[in-house]
A and B are shown apart, each in its own frame.
Chain A
Amino acid sequence: AQSVTQLDSQVPVFEEAPVELRCNYSSSVSVYLFWYVQYPNQGLQLLLKYLSGSTLVKGINGFEAEFNKSQTSFHLRKPSVHISDTAEYFCAASRRNNDMRFGAGTRLTVKP
């Protein structure tokens, strides 16, 4: 099964600053990639997904991610964060007809 590495366990950032959360995956075959967000004491909510086609994917709440096959990366970006973006973010990968695996998570803290 593919593995997923989130390179930063915690990312502190000031409000209205840009942010990038990094994710690398290992897979030798076509892969589907996802970013999920988890707010305190809640389940996971899908932010965006890459299944095929354009490598730049736009999601909810102003987030976007770029699929880079040569670097096996799928980094999440937002040009200007808000206090309400404070949450844990998970990168995930799967292959068709296979299970989904998650990274360890990145805790984004937005400070005023």
Chain B
Amino acid sequence: NAGVTQTPKFRVLKTGQSMTLLCAQDMNHEYMYWYRQDPGMGLRLIHYSVGEGTTAKGEVPDGYNVSRLKKQNFLLGLESAAPSQTSVYFCASSYPPGTEAFFGQGTRLTVV
């Protein structure tokens, strides 16, 4: 029972490079979320999805794009990475909407 799986676990990017973070869940959850975690700021919501084919902006969406082509997958893209995007990224899913969220183990991204 995998739960929520994030790929990759670590990544170093150069400024201006692009990358995609993959989140996969096997719990048939409708809602999926992407958060970033920075020291002293807790988890801030980047984007979320309420179902396959839908996405919505969270608190800090600038510089990120997302897609939810399949119910089980939620992709987070950085088109042109900046040092300010150095962070730990967490994916989560929940069902029914608004109740307990299950988290992945996180992706530590460093932009140099």
A residues bordering B, Cβ < 8 Å? 1, 6, 9, 32, 34, 36, 42-46, 49, 51, 90, 92, 94-105
In the complex, the chain B residue whose C-beta lies closest to that of A93 is: B98
Contacts A90-B42, A90-B43 given; does A95 touch B100 at CB 8 Å: no
Collect the chain A residues with CB atoms within 8 Å of residue B92's CB: 44, 100
Specify which of B50, B94, B97 lies most central, judged by the most chain A CB atoms within 10 Å of its CB. B97
- CB pair A43 B103 closer than 8 Å: yes
B residues bordering A, Cβ < 8 Å? 31, 33, 35, 40-45, 48, 50, 56, 58-59, 90, 92, 94, 96-106
Partner of B96, one of A9, A96, A104: A96
In the complex, the chain A residue whose C-beta lies closest to that of B108 is: A41
**What are 6 of the A-B contact pairs (CB < 8 Å)?**
A32-B98, A43-B105, A97-B50, A99-B48, A102-B44, A105-B40
Specify which of B58, B92, B98 lies most central, judged by the most chain A CB atoms within 10 Å of its CB. B98
In the complex, the chain B residue whose C-beta lies closest to that of A100 is: B101
